[in-house]
Amino acid sequence: MKTEQVIEQLSMRFPNEPEYIQAVTEVLHSIEPVYNQHPEFEAANLIERLCIPDRILSFRVTWTDDKGQVQTNMGYRIQHNNAIGPYKGGLRFHASVNLSILKFLAFEQTFKNALTTLPMGGAKGGSDFSPRGKSNTEVMRFCQAFMTELWRNIGPDTDVPAGDIGVGGREVGFLYGMYKKLARENTGTLTGKGLEFGGSLIRPEATGYGNVYFLKHMLATRSLDLKGKVVAVSGAGNVAQYTVDKLIQEGAKVVTLSDSDGYIYDPDGIDREKLDYIMELKNLYRGRMWEYAEKYGVKYVAGARPWSEKCDIAMPSATQNEITAEDAQTLVSNGCIAVSEGANMPSTPDAIKIFQTAGLLYAPGKASNAGGVSVSGLEMSQNAMKRAWSAEEVDQQLQRIMADIHAQCQKYGTRPDGTTDYVAGANISAFMKVARAMMAQGIL
Ligand code: NDP
Ligand code: 2IT
């Protein structure tokens, strides 16, 4: 494979898709050496077949707002690759959603899901609809309209959607209700459902908890732990909240959180009581982080991200490309020792280079945030068996999976000096699994 040539061709075929090209570029650079040891891969043009999604569905979603005005949004589902199992991945509802972003997410999901040890292919979908500022009934009508188009293309053994930015328990409930009404079956075709109707214990916690479990394994390779460590977290949604929850349990001190309007800096640390307030503020009242700053009398910086604050560990948990090269340099200069990604692709390629050159422990999201989709996979298993496991049982399986992903990164990413390149390790391990499955199933 001539990596640069493949990237150039993909850039020409898919102009205006920078996030997609960014995600593909990172993976191709990592896998080039192993790919070139397998001439049979090249003969089967495996690389283009792996980079280009199997199928892209796009549709118009029409719904009526509370004022009686008829609104339209775009809806999408990218079914990227199902070599190792049914398509699986979240739905994102955010004004910024476009094909480039969903294609990058579906591509990443394919590799992430391969790392989980569970049989799941990769997909992503969503809409440029923004739940922000919408009433409950508007969100419900939108979700119902979205599902009237999507339902024919999903199913428990074909494609299983879940949440992502702007899609949490409320939205999954509305989406699943409409799916069930149209499909006339009850096999659990979305994950992240409520506990009363087939959801799994620990699914809400899974991404944040999983990221902290992964981080602990990375720290252990340097005989370090989380006690007393100062942590900067970004975002204030599902992933950020349960990251803070687990960090508090581990004795770390979380000093920042953010939303798309700005960040808070709380030098005393976010304790259990403050976290309860944040969960109520965000999940119930859909409030803003400046309200936290007012309530607790701490610093609020509008229009900025938290990376200029001094910390030992950074856990970006908001969105893609939220850590620039300049932010990375600041983190390194401030003595940061580890970056473990909760979000998908939050660090720019230049930022990753800076982390790796400085010798930080750096975990790419496809490894460190895989706990969410892993417990989604466990939810699928429970639905198929018509059973519900205890929280302890699910948490134990999640811990085992995160340990396994860390071990895979070490197996495929150990450098000559004994340290681990988690980017190479995750990409190569996932690639080899998907590649072998594709080769075994013929040219499709
Ligand atoms: P939520 O919608 O619950 O929260 C997202 C948070 O990030 C909010 O605080 C939001 O602020 C902020 N945010 C979103 N977009 C932007 C933006 N463009 N600029 C600045 N801040 C932004 O989503 P999740 O917590 O579920 O997802 C967070 C990240 O984690 C995403 O990258 C997602 O892909 C990834 N992820 C999620 C998993 C899951 O299970 N939910 C699993 C694995 C990864 P505001 O409220 O102001 O919009
Ligand atoms: O990015 C992700 O892994 C998710 N948003 C979760 C996907 C899932 O199917 O649970």
Q: How confident is the model at residue 212, as a pLDDT?
A: 99
Which of 132, 170, 212, 260 most suits a substitution to test ligand 1, by most atoms within 8 Å of the C-beta? 260
Q: Give the position, in ligand 1's atom list, of the atom nearest the Cα of 282.
A: 46
Q: Is 204 left (phi over 0), alpha (psi -120 to 50) or beta?
A: alpha
Q: Residues enclosing ligand 1, CB less than 6 A?
A: 94, 96, 163-166, 168, 207, 235-240, 259-261, 317-319, 342-344, 369, 372
Residue 104 has pLDDT above 70, yes or no: yes
Q: Give the position, in ligand 2's atom list, of the atom nearest the Cα of 108.
A: 1
Out of 3.40.50.700, 3.30.70.1350, 3.40.50.720, 3.30.230.10, which CATH number does the structure's domain 206-359 have? 3.40.50.720
Residue 1 has pLDDT above 80, yes or no: no
Residue type, 78: I
Which pairing describes strands 159-162 and 87-93: parallel, antiparallel, or unpaired? parallel
pTM of the model: 0.98
The residue whose two tokens read 């009526």 is 64
Number of H helices, E strands in the chain: 17, 12
Q: What is the mean pLDDT of residues 276-288?
A: 97
Torsion of CA 243, 394, 87, 37, to 10 degrees: 80
How remote is the CA of residue 417 from the centroid of ligand 1, in Å?
A: 36
Considering the chain, tell me which residue range(s) the CATH 3.40.50.10860 domain(s) occupy.
3-184
* 124 alpha carbon, closest ligand: 2
Total Cβ atoms within 10 A of residue 18: 14
Residue ID of nearest Cα to ligand 1 atom 46: 259
Q: How confident is the model at residue 77, as a pLDDT?
A: 98
How remote is the CA of residue 89 from the centroid of ligand 2, in Å?
A: 5
Q: How confident is the model at residue 84, as a pLDDT?
A: 98
- pLDDT tens column, 184-195: 999 999 999 999
Provide the mean pLDDT of the chain: 98
* 283 alpha carbon, closest ligand: 1
Considering the chain, tell me which residue range(s) the CATH 3.40.50.720 domain(s) occupy.
206-359
Cross-strand partners of 162: 90
**Catalytic residue, candidates 103, 124, 246, 253:** 124
112 is catalytic: no
Out of 3.40.50.10860, 3.90.25.10, 2.20.70.10, 3.40.718.10, which CATH number does the structure's domain 3-184 have? 3.40.50.10860
How remote is the CA of residue 319 from the centroid of ligand 1, in Å?
A: 5
* Cβ pair 255, 231 in contact under 8 A: yes
User: Which structure tokens are listed for 23?
Assistant: 């995600």
- pLDDT tens column, 296-338: 999 999 999 999 999 999 999 999 999 999 999 999 999 999 9
* 369 alpha carbon, closest ligand: 1
Residue ID of nearest Cα to ligand 2 atom 10: 373
Local confidence band at 82 (pLDDT 50, 70, 90 cut-offs): very high
Q: Residues enclosing ligand 2, CB less than 6 A?
A: 88-90, 109, 112, 162, 164, 191, 344, 372-373, 376
Q: How confident is the model at residue 2, as a pLDDT?
A: 81
Q: What is the mean pLDDT of residues 44-62?
A: 97
Q: How confident is the model at residue 286, as a pLDDT?
A: 95
How remote is the CA of residue 167 from the centroid of ligand 1, in Å?
A: 9
Query: Mapping DSSP to helix (H, G, I), strand (E, B) and coil, where does residue 80 land?
Result: strand
- pLDDT tens column, 208-223: 999 999 999 999 999 9
Q: How confident is the model at residue 174, as a pLDDT?
A: 98
How remote is the CA of residue 40 from the centroid of ligand 2, in Å?
A: 32
User: Which structure tokens are listed for 105?
Assistant: 């997410």
